[in-house]
Structure 1
Amino acid sequence: MRVALITGAARGLGRAMAHDLAADHDVAITYNTTEPGPLLMERPDIFAIQADLSDPQNAKDVIDQTVAQFGRLDVLVNNAGAVVPNAYDAEAFDDTKLIFDVNVVAPMALLSAALPHLQPGASVINISSTNAVLPAKGASAYSASKAALNTWTRAMAKELGPRGIRVNAVAPGATERPESPRPDDLIKVFVDMTALGRVGTPEDIAAAVRFLASDAAGFITGEILNVNGGYRL
């Protein structure tokens, strides 16, 4: 059975990914401050690792624990993210550093630690955002971090292609998380700008991750798959 590691999977999109992949993968997840109790009640076979991924020194421990538990690693999903509304002045530097540490440096550190264990056919999937190309007002650093993640995704696809390792990203649009619902008036704004006339669900994103992790996507690498229902076409 293939082994998947999904970071930041205690809730929201990561929880949906873990629940989906656990149907036919051995799954490890990371969490930081949010306990993954509800997920583990549904899927007690999932292996949960507490880790603060803002410190890149923790990446190797996460990979080592996953391999020690399951004996291998085939799919790495870099989902953990820092979403901090921040200004653009110098006083926002601490928030900006946290955003880039979690959204960019952590995926780099995790992949570096994982490489000795990844065999041909392995898949790395980074969770980006529509904001990488359509920056959100009040979230300049977050948007920039996702743009950097996209570029790194393509660069690593080129680097690791000769080893048979695929590297792609999924870029969600407006996606509702049951744990943190948006106000109805804001949802209407997103719906009005989306061709399919609705916001996304965590299951929409999980389905895209499943596809990119599978052999059905065996000739796809270096791609940023937008899963946004036609947002702002």
Structure 2
Amino acid sequence: MEKVALVTGGARGIGRAIVEDLGTDHSVAFTWLTSKPAAALCADTNLAIQSDLREPDQASEVIRQVIEHYGRLDVIVNNAGLVRSTPKDQFQHEDHRAIIDLNLLAPAALLSAALPHLKPGAAIVNISSMNATLPPRDAATYGASKAALNLWTRAMAKELGPEGIRVNAVAPGAINIPEAPRSDELTAIFVKDTALGRAGTPEDIAKAVRFLASDNASFVTGEVLPVTGGYRL
């Protein structure tokens, strides 16, 4: 039977690449908020769910729709994330709260809602960031949220291991998103410090997610896999 995957934030960028990659041999549900998905993503085997996962009740509603539609759930990819500037001298509570709610609490809420439906062999893949260990200027709360996500990844791997459920993360480096490209100047700065001499693509991340979600990684759990092209080696 074809496996079912849920990808949050799947309408654009890295999320879209993951939906397209997994969609070759999975049924895929994905969430979106403001970026309406392209018609090509809304295939017969895909389910698009508009949802603001910062809201406390949305995780259980998303899982309800996935189970109602497919009857099962095998893979959760927590890709939806929020980056906002949080300068130290301009504290805006709503900005900090929104970052934590989406980047850390939403994955926890989705897992809690999905647990009754996850069977041995299920996999959770969280999209972290190199900024979990390389603090971004004026965006410390974003980096902190990803560092917390890394710890949560390892904690859940330990707790869910006895149930045969794996939990891992992918930490992207500098990825050029077609819908929001960096300037040539900024891209050049990142490439200069990247061993492979190029910026990453959403497809690079999707391939790493596919591996961690697959049975090829059946003995891999609690890991944070950097996919950075050798940034700052």
TM-score (norm 2): 0.97
Give yes or no for the alignment of 1:35 onto 2:36. Answer: yes
Give the CA deviation at 1:92: 2.1
| Cα distance in 2, alignment partners of residues 68 and 205 from structure 1 | 29
Distance 1:39 1:228, change over 3 A: farther
Contact kept? 2:74, 2:123, Cα under 8 Å: yes
Contact kept? 2:20, 2:41, Cα under 8 Å: no
Answer with 191-200 or 90-99: which moved more.
90-99
Task: Report the equivalent of 2:119.
Answer: 119
| Cα distance in 1, alignment partners of residues 3 and 56 from structure 2 | 25
Task: Report the equivalent of 1:201.
Answer: 201
Task: Report the equivalent of 1:220.
Answer: 220
Give yes or no for the alignment of 1:48 onto 2:52. Answer: no
Residue 23 of structure 1 aligns to which amino acid in structure 2?
T
Contact kept? 1:15, 1:39, Cα under 8 Å: no
Give the CA deviation at 1:75: 0.1
| Cα distance in 2, alignment partners of residues 91 and 150 from structure 1 | 25
Q: 1:127-152 CA deviation, whole Å, 9 max, x = no partner?
A: 00000000111110100000000000
Q: 1:145-172 CA deviation, whole Å, 9 max, x = no partner?
A: 0000000000000000000000000000
Q: How well do the aligned residues superpose, as a CA RMSD in angstroms?
A: 1.0
Contact kept? 1:10, 1:39, Cα under 8 Å: no
Q: 1:182-232 CA deviation, whole Å, 9 max, x = no partner?
A: 110100000000000001000000000000010000000000000000001
| Cα distance in 1, alignment partners of residues 193 and 51 from structure 2 | 37
| Cα distance in 2, alignment partners of residues 36 and 148 from structure 1 | 29
Q: How many residues align?
A: 232
Give the CA deviation at 1:45: 2.9
| Cα distance in 2, alignment partners of residues 44 and 140 from structure 1 | 41
Give the CA deviation at 1:44: 4.5
Q: 1:105-134 CA deviation, whole Å, 9 max, x = no partner?
A: 000000000000000000000000000000
* Unaligned residue ranges in structure 1 (runs of 5+): none
Contact kept? 1:19, 1:39, Cα under 8 Å: no
| Cα distance in 2, alignment partners of residues 67 and 112 from structure 1 | 14
Write out aligned runs for 1:4-153 (5 A): 4-40=5-41, 43-89=43-89, 91-153=91-153
| Cα distance in 2, alignment partners of residues 39 and 185 from structure 1 | 32
Contact kept? 2:86, 2:96, Cα under 8 Å: yes
Give the CA deviation at 1:40: 2.4
| Cα distance in 2, alignment partners of residues 108 and 12 from structure 1 | 23
TM-score (norm 1): 0.97
Residue 14 of structure 2 aligns to which amino acid in structure 1?
L
